[in-house]
Amino acid sequence: EHIPYFLHNNKRVTKLCLLDPLCPFKQEALQNRSVCWGYEKNCDPKNGFSYPVCTKADSGWARSLDAAQELFWKQADFGYVKEQISELKTLCKASKPGDSLLKCSSHTRFCRAKNLYLDLRNPRRSHE
């Protein structure tokens, strides 16, 4: 079920699959290419992987079913991923191909890195 969504975000893999006569996911690679997980910039919500369905809205955290579903999506679903990606800041930029790269969202909740070694055996503690 998740294969078309994976292929949509991995164009190189899709291309390799289409060229490989033994690729078992050819049908998925040729399927609806507009599907998305929900966090992508150009993702139409109706083509997203899923959206939460709430059957009850507790007035303690949401005023309506729509508000409850949106809040859940933003805090515990792909909406959270979308927010983290939108906050990414480059902390270490590669000056040439193969160099290290580090991008993190605020408070380093979410990071992307390439060619980076982090020694976390004895991390220093912050006083925040």
**DSSP letter string, 34-67:** T-B-S-STT--GGGBS-----S---TTT-SSHHH
Nearest Cα to 50, choosing from 86, 87, 76, 85? 76
pLDDT at 3 over 80: yes
Contact of 69 with 81, CB cutoff 8 Å? no
pLDDT at 90 over 80: yes
Nearest Cα to 54, choosing from 36, 75, 35, 39? 75
Mind listing the pLDDT tens digit for each residue in 30-81? 876 789 999 998 898 888 998 888 888 777 888 889 999 999 999 999 999 9
42 within domain boundaries: no
How many domains are there within the chain? 3
40 within domain boundaries: no
Share of the chain above pLDDT 90, in %: 57
93 within domain boundaries: yes
Our separate counts of H helices and E strands in the chain read 5, 3
Question: Out of 8-17, 26-35, 61-70, 89-98, which region has the weakest mean confidence (pLDDT)?
Answer: 26-35
Domain boundaries, position 59: 50-86
